[in-house]
Amino acid sequence: MTKVTVLGAAGGIGQPLSLLLKMSPYVSTLALYDLRLAPGVARDLSHINTNSKCRGYGKDELADALKGANVVVIPAGVPRKPGMTRDDLFKINAGIVANLVSATAKYAPSARILVISNPVNSTVPVACETLKNLGQFKPGKVMGVTTLDVVRAHTFLSDALGADHYGREAMKSHVTVIGGHSGTTIVPIVTNAKVRSKLVNKRQYDAYIHRVQFGGDEVVEAKQGAGSATLSMALAGFQFTNEVLRSIHLEKRAEPGPLPAFIYLPGVEGGKELQSKLGTNIEYFAAPVQMLRGDVVRVDVDWVDGLSDEEKKAIKICLEELDKNVQKGKRFVQSKL
Ligand X SMILES: O=C(O)C[C@H](O)C(=O)O
Ligand Y SMILES: NC(=O)c1ccc[n+]([C@@H]2O[C@H](COP(=O)([O-])OP(=O)(O)OC[C@H]3O[C@@H](n4cnc5c(N)ncnc54)[C@H](O)[C@@H]3O)[C@@H](O)[C@H]2O)c1
Q: What radius of gyration, in Å, describes the C-alpha atoms of the chain?
A: 19
| Euclidean distance between CA atoms 178 and 255, whole angstroms | 18
Which residue has the closest beta carbon to ligand Y?
11
Of 160, 154, 123, 165, which is closest to residue 7 (Cα–Cα)? 123
- Residue 176 interacts with, from ligand X, ligand Y, none (CB under 5-8 Å by kind): none
Stretch that binds ligand Y, among 20-28, 196-204, 227-235, 316-324 (CB under 6 A): 227-235
Establish whether 47 is a catalytic residue: no
- Give the range of 47-55, 104-112, 214-222, 242-250 binding ligand X by CB under 6 A: 214-222
Per-residue x/- marks for ligand Y, 69-98, CB under 6 A? ------xxxxxx--------x---x--x--
**11 known member of a binding site:** yes
Q: Which of 48, 46, 42 is nearest to 14 (CA)?
A: 42
Could you give the 3-state DSSP secondary structure of residue 332?
Answer: helix
Is the dihedral angle over the CA atoms 335, 228, 320, 268 positive or is it negative? positive
Q: Is 331 annotated as a binding residue?
A: no
114 contacts ligand X (rule: CB under 6 A): no
State yes or no: residue 216 binds ligand X (CB under 6 A): yes
Q: Binder to ligand Y among 230, 241, 247, 280 (CB under 6 A)?
A: 230
Instruction: Compute the least distance from the CB of residue 317 to ligand X, in Å.
Output: 18
Helix (H) or strand (E) holding 128: helix 120-133
93 is in an annotated binding site: yes
Give the long-range contacts of residues 218-221, CB within 8 A, separation 24 or more: 220/80, 220/81, 220/82, 220/84, 221/82
Q: Does residue 36 have a known ligand-binding role?
A: no
Q: Is 211 annotated as a binding residue?
A: no
One-letter identity of residue 218: E
CB 234 within 8 A of CB 79: no
Phi and psi angles of residue 285, each rounded to the nearest 5 degrees, phi first: -165, 150
Per-residue x/- track, 83-102, ligand X (CB under 6 A): ---x----------------
* Contact between 229 and ligand Y per CB under 6 A: yes
CA dist 103 and 66 (Å) reads 8
Chosen from ligand Y, ligand X, none, partner binding at 230 (C-beta under 5 to 8 Å by type): ligand Y
Rounded to the nearest angstrom, the gap between the alpha carbon of residue 224 and the centroid of all alpha carbons in its chain is 24
Taking CB under 6 A as the criterion, the residue among 58, 227, 257, 267 binding ligand Y is 227
Largest distance between two CA atoms of the chain: 56
Cα 159 to Cα 144: distance, rounded to the nearest angstrom? 27
120 binds ligand Y (CB under 6 A): yes
140 touches which of ligand Y, ligand X, none (CB within 5 to 8 A by kind)? none
Q: Tell me which residues are annotated as active site.
A: 181
What residues line the site for ligand Y (CB under 6 A)?
7-8, 10-14, 33-36, 75-80, 89, 93, 96, 100, 116-118, 120, 145, 148, 181, 227-230, 233
What residues line the site for ligand X (CB under 6 A)?
79-80, 86, 118, 148, 216, 219-220, 228-229
Q: Which residues are annotated as a binding site for substrate?
A: 80, 86, 118, 152
Q: Which residues are annotated as a binding site for NAD(+)?
A: 8-14, 34, 93, 116-118, 233
